[in-house]
A and B are shown apart, each in its own frame.
Chain A
Amino acid sequence: MAKHHVSFTINGDPTEILCETHATLLDVLRDELELTGTKEGCSTGDCGACSVTVDGRLVCSCLMLGVEANGKAIGTVEGLAKGDKLHVLQEKFLEHHALQCGICTPGFLVASKALLEKNPDPTETEVRYWLAGNLCRCTGYDKIVRAVMDAATVMRGA
Chain B
Amino acid sequence: MHATVDQLQKARIDGGVHEPRAHDSSIRHVTGEAVYTGDIKLPADAVAVFIATSPHAHAAIRSIDLEAVRRQPGIIAVLGAGDIPGINDCSPFAGDDPIFAEAKVEYAGQSLFAVAAATLAEARAAATLAVIDFAPQPAIVTIAQAMATQSYLSPPRTLIHGDPEAAIATAAHRLTGRIEIGGQEHFYLEGQVAIAMPGEGDEMLIHSSTQHPTEVQHKVADALGVPFHAVTVEVRRMGGAFGGKETHGNLPATVAALVARQTGRAAIVRYDRDDDMHITGKRHDFRIDYTAGFDDTGRILGVTFDHASRCGMSFDLSAAISDRALCHADNAYFIPAMRVTSYLCKTNTASNTAFRGFGGPQGMIGIERVIEEIARHLRVDPVTVRRANFYPHKDSGGHRATPYRMLVEDCIIQDLFDELEASSDYAPRRAEIIAFNAKSAVLKRGIAMTPVKFGISFNNIMLNQAGALVHVYADGSIGLNHGGTEMGQGLFIKVAQVVAEAFQVDLDRVKITATTTGKVPNTSATAASSGSDLNGMAALDAANKIKARLAAYLANAHNVAAAAITFEPNRILVGGREIAFDDAIAEAHRARVSLSATGFYATPKLHWDEGTRTGRPFYYFCFGAAVSEVAIDTLTGENRILRVDIVHDCGRSLNPAIDLGQIEGGFVQGAGWLTMEELVWDDRGRLKTHAPATYKIPCASDRPVDLRIKIHDRGRNIEDTIYRSKAVGEPPLMLAISAHAALSDAVASVAGGRVAPDLDAPATPERILMAVERVKANAP
Residues of A within 8 A of B (CB): 22, 30, 34-44, 46-47, 49, 76-78, 80-81, 86, 90, 93-94, 97, 99-106, 109, 127-129, 131-145
Interface residue SS majority, chain A: loop
| Cβ B664 vs Cβ A43 within 8 A | no
| Among B27, B191, B239, B693, contact of A46 (Cβ-Cβ < 8 Å) | B693
B277 → chain A, closest Cβ, in Å? 10
| Cβ B703 vs Cβ A128 within 8 A | yes
B261 → chain A, closest Cβ, in Å? 25
| Cβ A22 vs Cβ B25 within 8 A | no
Provided the pairs A76-B32, A90-B31 are in contact, do residues A99 and B26 lie with their beta carbons within 8 angstroms? yes
| Cβ B701 vs Cβ A102 within 8 A | no
Counting CB contacts under 8 A, is B269 at the interface? Answer: no
Counting CB contacts under 8 A, is B192 at the interface? Answer: no
| Cβ B661 vs Cβ A100 within 8 A | yes
7 more contacts with CB within 8 A, not counting A22-B121, A135-B189, A140-B661, are A76-B32, A90-B30, A99-B26, A100-B661, A101-B189, A102-B488, A140-B668
| Cβ A39 vs Cβ B31 within 8 A | no
Which residues of A have CB within 8 Å of B657? 97
Q: Which 7 A-B pairs have the closest CB atoms?
A: A37-B32, A101-B488, A102-B29, A103-B239, A140-B668, A100-B488, A46-B692
Which residues of A have CB within 8 Å of B660? 97
Counting CB contacts under 8 A, is B417 at the interface? Answer: no
A-B contact pairs, 7 of them (CB 8 A): A99-B26, A101-B238, A102-B488, A103-B190, A131-B699, A132-B701, A137-B242
Which residues of B have CB within 8 Å of A34? 41
Residues of B within 8 A of A (CB): 20, 22-23, 25-36, 38-39, 41, 121, 186-191, 237-242, 272-273, 487-490, 657-658, 660-661, 664-669, 691-693, 697-703, 707
| Cβ B30 vs Cβ A105 within 8 A | yes
B696 → chain A, closest Cβ, in Å? 10
| Cβ B664 vs Cβ A78 within 8 A | no
Report how far A36 CA is from B43 CA in the complex, Å. Answer: 16
Provided the pairs A42-B691, A105-B30 are in contact, do residues A135 and B273 lie with their beta carbons within 8 angstroms? no
Report how far A147 CA is from B658 CA in the complex, Å. Answer: 16
Provided the pairs A37-B33, A138-B665 are in contact, do residues A101 and B190 lie with their beta carbons within 8 angstroms? yes
| Cβ A38 vs Cβ B32 within 8 A | yes
Residue of B657, B660, B692, B700 contacting most chain A CB atoms (<10 Å) = B700
Which residues of B have CB within 8 Å of A81? 31
| Cβ A43 vs Cβ B273 within 8 A | yes
| Cβ B692 vs Cβ A47 within 8 A | yes
Provided the pairs A41-B273, A103-B190 are in contact, do residues A144 and B240 lie with their beta carbons within 8 angstroms? no
Which residues of A have CB within 8 Å of B489? 100
Report how far A134 CA is from B664 CA in the complex, Å. Answer: 17
Which residues of A have CB within 8 Å of B488? 99-102, 138
Which residues of B have CB within 8 Å of A131? 699-701
Report how far A21 CA is from B661 CA in the complex, Å. Answer: 43
Which residues of A have CB within 8 Å of B273? 41-44, 47
Report how far A125 CA is from B190 CA in the complex, Å. Answer: 28
Across the two chains, which residue of chain A brings its CB closest to B187? Answer: A137
Provided the pairs A42-B692, A46-B692 are in contact, do residues A80 and B661 lie with their beta carbons within 8 angstroms? no
Which residues of A have CB within 8 Å of B700? 127-129, 131-132, 134, 136, 141, 144-145
B679 → chain A, closest Cβ, in Å? 16
| Cβ A93 vs Cβ B30 within 8 A | yes
Which residues of B have CB within 8 Å of A132? 699-702
| Cβ A36 vs Cβ B242 within 8 A | no
| Cβ B189 vs Cβ A143 within 8 A | no
Which residues of B have CB within 8 Å of A41? 189-191, 273, 692
Which residues of A have CB within 8 Å of B703? 128, 140-142, 145
B486 → chain A, closest Cβ, in Å? 8
| Among B32, B665, B692, contact of A140 (Cβ-Cβ < 8 Å) | B665
B576 → chain A, closest Cβ, in Å? 42
Report how far A158 CA is from B33 CA in the complex, Å. Answer: 27
Provided the pairs A44-B691, A47-B692 are in contact, do residues A101 and B239 lie with their beta carbons within 8 angstroms? yes
B269 → chain A, closest Cβ, in Å? 15
| Cβ B189 vs Cβ A77 within 8 A | no
Report how far A30 CA is from B193 CA in the complex, Å. Answer: 16
Report how far A49 CA is from B190 CA in the complex, Å. Answer: 10
Which residues of B have CB within 8 Å of A30? 39
Report how far A142 CA is from B666 CA in the complex, Å. Answer: 12
Report how far A136 CA is from B190 CA in the complex, Å. Answer: 11
A107 → chain B, closest Cβ, in Å? 9
Across the two chains, which residue of chain A brings its CB closest to B668? Answer: A140
| Cβ A78 vs Cβ B32 within 8 A | yes
Across the two chains, which residue of chain B brings its CB closest to A43? Answer: B272
Which residues of B have CB within 8 Å of A42? 273, 691-692
Report how far A49 CA is from B27 CA in the complex, Å. Answer: 18
| Among B34, B187, B188, B664, contact of A143 (Cβ-Cβ < 8 Å) | B664
Report how far A78 CA is from B22 CA in the complex, Å. Answer: 21
| Cβ B23 vs Cβ A100 within 8 A | yes
Which residues of B have CB within 8 Å of A103? 36, 189-190, 239-240
B400 → chain A, closest Cβ, in Å? 34
Which residues of A have CB within 8 Å of B487? 101
Across the two chains, which residue of chain B brings its CB closest to A140? Answer: B668
Report how far A87 CA is from B664 CA in the complex, Å. Answer: 26
Across the two chains, which residue of chain B brings its CB closest to A89? Answer: B30
| Cβ B490 vs Cβ A100 within 8 A | yes
Residue of A40, A93, A103, A132 contacting most chain B CB atoms (<10 Å) = A103
A96 → chain B, closest Cβ, in Å? 9
Report how far A81 CA is from B121 CA in the complex, Å. Answer: 34
A83 → chain B, closest Cβ, in Å? 11
Across the two chains, which residue of chain B brings its CB closest to A107? Answer: B189
A121 → chain B, closest Cβ, in Å? 18
Report how far A32 CA is from B51 CA in the complex, Å. Answer: 24
| Among A35, A40, A99, A135, contact of B699 (Cβ-Cβ < 8 Å) | A135
Provided the pairs A101-B240, A102-B488, A129-B701 are in contact, do residues A135 and B692 lie with their beta carbons within 8 angstroms? yes
Which residues of A have CB within 8 Å of B237? 101-102
Which residues of A have CB within 8 Å of B693? 44, 46
B601 → chain A, closest Cβ, in Å? 25
A28 → chain B, closest Cβ, in Å? 13
Across the two chains, which residue of chain B brings its CB closest to A34? Answer: B41
Which residues of B have CB within 8 Å of A109? 30
Report how far A36 CA is from B41 CA in the complex, Å. Answer: 10
| Cβ B664 vs Cβ A139 within 8 A | yes
Provided the pairs A99-B23, A139-B665 are in contact, do residues A39 and B691 lie with their beta carbons within 8 angstroms? no
Across the two chains, which residue of chain A brings its CB closest to B188? Answer: A137
Provided the pairs A42-B692, A44-B691, A138-B488 are in contact, do residues A78 and B190 lie with their beta carbons within 8 angstroms? no
A29 → chain B, closest Cβ, in Å? 11
Provided the pairs A128-B700, A139-B664, A139-B665 are in contact, do residues A102 and B33 lie with their beta carbons within 8 angstroms? no
| Cβ A138 vs Cβ B691 within 8 A | no
| Cβ A94 vs Cβ B664 within 8 A | no
| Cβ B661 vs Cβ A78 within 8 A | no
Provided the pairs A39-B239, A44-B692, A101-B487 are in contact, do residues A94 and B189 lie with their beta carbons within 8 angstroms? no
Across the two chains, which residue of chain A brings its CB closest to B486? Answer: A101
Report how far A126 CA is from B740 CA in the complex, Å. Answer: 27
Across the two chains, which residue of chain A brings its CB closest to B242? Answer: A137
Report how far A109 CA is from B41 CA in the complex, Å. Answer: 24
B600 → chain A, closest Cβ, in Å? 28
A139 → chain B, closest Cβ, in Å? 5
Report how far A81 CA is from B29 CA in the complex, Å. Answer: 12
Report how far A150 CA is from B35 CA in the complex, Å. Answer: 28
Across the two chains, which residue of chain B brings its CB closest to A101? Answer: B488
Report how far A30 CA is from B270 CA in the complex, Å. Answer: 14
Across the two chains, which residue of chain B brings its CB closest to A109? Answer: B30
Report how far A109 CA is from B31 CA in the complex, Å. Answer: 9
Report how far A140 CA is from B664 CA in the complex, Å. Answer: 6
Which residues of B have CB within 8 Å of A36? 32, 35, 38-39
Report how far A42 CA is from B187 CA in the complex, Å. Answer: 10
| Cβ A138 vs Cβ B30 within 8 A | no
| Cβ B31 vs Cβ A37 within 8 A | yes
| Among A77, A128, A137, contact of B31 (Cβ-Cβ < 8 Å) | A77
